[in-house]
Chain A
Amino acid sequence: MPLLELNNVSLSFKDQSLFENINLSINKGDKLVISGPSGTGKTSLLKLILGFIPGFEGQISFQNETITHHNIWKVRRSIGYISQDSDIGEGKVGQLIEDIFSLKVNIKLKPDPGKIKELFHFFRLEESTLAKDFEELSGGEKKRVAIIISILLKRDFFFLDEITSGLDDEVLKTVIGYFMESDHTAIIISHDKEWMKKQGVKEFKLN
């Protein structure tokens, strides 16, 4: 049984059609790379699944249940979303992370500082980054902080929207390796050929 299924999903903004009748089926452990030219609606497709875009046509189900305003909250809690736009918060990085784990659903997941530092090293971020202002980080640093947060949240289904743009080669390989060499499920939006080199990756083209 598929984890996520899209049936004839269409989206248009103000009479301008973005995509029509998309059918997708994602099973546990799948890695799906969505590619396509800029402006074709890749980001919109992910947002639509997360319930951020009202007024699309078609049907989406998660774990065999049609997504509605009742279960969307559960769907969101099951997905680790890293948005293309890195403007995800403000204040000190350490505080930002702390606040995320003060949300009711995440309290139980509160990571110990050792785990956070370990991930910072793994993704080649200085420990001192924790004391910096999130808004003053570079684009690539923000991306990595967001990746670390999604890992700390222990979600096993990831929506990764252009997470490798702005990363140097070495870090890029680390990031791709992390998500691909695990049994996590992931929908990846990327222009990077590196993702496609991995085994068992599927591709979906939007145009």
Chain B
Amino acid sequence: MSTVDINTLPLIIGFALILIPIAFSWWFNIGIIKRTLIASFRMGIQLLLVGLFLEYLFELNNSFINIAWLMFMILVASVSMIRNSDLKYRILLFPSFMSLAISTLSVVFFFNIVILNLENIFDAKYLIAIGGMILGNSLRSNIVGVSSFYKSIKRNENRYHYQLSLGATRLEAILPFFREGFKSAVNPFIAGMATFGIVSIPGMMTGQILGGSSPMVAVKYQITIVTAIFVVTTVSVILTILFTARSSFNAYGVLNKGIFKN
């Protein structure tokens, strides 16, 4: 059994539903018409291109190219993480990339080797689909965690200096801020996890069920993937903060304000 394809005309009709929010936006004069149009066309074209590319990639299924593509996705994720965080690229890009790469790759391979017991652990279907799924979902928490960490040190500079003056080591002084950043990163995730399945049918389950899997198989995938996302989120928040800390604090343990975009 395979999924019903969507033909061109119905696809266009489906896409045309975008006119409904646009009509409301015009009617209530909300002023988001231009942005909506640009964003939805970008979404459509981007996805079509990715679709074509992935068709080709899955056809080819070359381990080396698969890994390279996953690394590229991680790079794009790191760039987007910094773009959304008030922090500068120059200092943060490399450490964030390393942290996302380490956490995503290790969890994806663990998944492919231990849980799925795949013959080819570089298989595009698993490596790229699962890798992308994990990456995309842990990204937002990562951004929240890292930016809240740096912002709260900047905002509470006096408290931070006071800790140092009390004799705290660098690690001891950042610990309270680290806890706060970590909490704000995982809190929404924990809250969301509890409603999975009942309030929200996660996208991946939907996809698998449409693809012909039984709901039970989809659920088992979902449970392990959600856990994997959670693990990657926590590990990458910790690593990103640790790796960036080397260049964001000076030798005196003081936050380098130059890390913030103006």
Contact = CB atoms under 8 A, between A and B. Distances in A.
Interface of A: 47, 50-54, 69, 72-73, 76-77, 79, 81, 83, 85, 87-89, 100, 103-106, 153
Interface hub of B156, B158, B166, B251 (most chain A Cβ within 10 A): B166
A91 to B, nearest CB: 10
Contact of A153 (B163, B166, B254): B166
Contacts, number: 61
Given A79-B165, A83-B161, A89-B159, 11 more contacts: A51-B164, A69-B250, A73-B169, A77-B167, A87-B158, A88-B158, A103-B163, A103-B168, A103-B169, A106-B167, A153-B167
Nearest to A102: B172
Contacts of A89: 159, 162
Contacts of A103: 163, 166-169, 172
Contact of A69 (B166, B172, B251): B251
Interface residues of B, number: 18
Contact of A104 (B156, B169, B254): B169
Contacts of A72: 252-253
B158 A104 contact: no
Interface of B: 156, 158-159, 161-169, 172, 250-254
A81 B158 CA distance: 12
Contacts of B162: 81, 83, 88-89
24 contacts: A47-B161, A50-B164, A50-B165, A51-B164, A51-B254, A52-B161, A52-B164, A52-B252, A53-B254, A54-B252, A69-B251, A69-B252, A72-B253, A83-B158, A87-B158, A100-B166, A103-B163, A103-B166, A103-B172, A104-B169, A104-B172, A105-B167, A105-B168, A153-B167
